[in-house]
Amino acid sequence: MPLISLSSFIEKSNDLKKVDDKFPSPERPSTVDSYSFPSNADNLSDTQIDSWLAFFGAWRGYMNYEISKFEGELYILSEGYDLILSTKIAGLEAESSKRLLKDSLKGQAILEDDQLQRVKIRIIDMTGQLKILRGRLSLYDSQFETLSRLITRRGQERMKMSI
Domain layout of the chain by residue ranges: 6-12+46-157
Alpha carbon 146 to chain centroid, angstroms? 23
For residue 3, what pLDDT is reported?
Answer: 57
Of 57, 53, 58, 63, the residue nearest 147 (C-alpha): 53
The reported pTM is: 0.80
Question: Residue 143, exposed/middle/buried by CB under 10 A (0-12, 13-18, 19+)?
Answer: buried
- Nearest CA to 82 out of 163, 6, 8 is that of 6
What pLDDT does residue 121 have?
95
What's the pLDDT at 1? 43
pLDDT digits over 18-41, tens only?
888 899 999 999 878 899 999 998
Residue 127 has a CB neighbour count (10 Å cut-off) of 12
Q: Identify the segments of the chain with pLDDT beneath 70.
A: 1-3
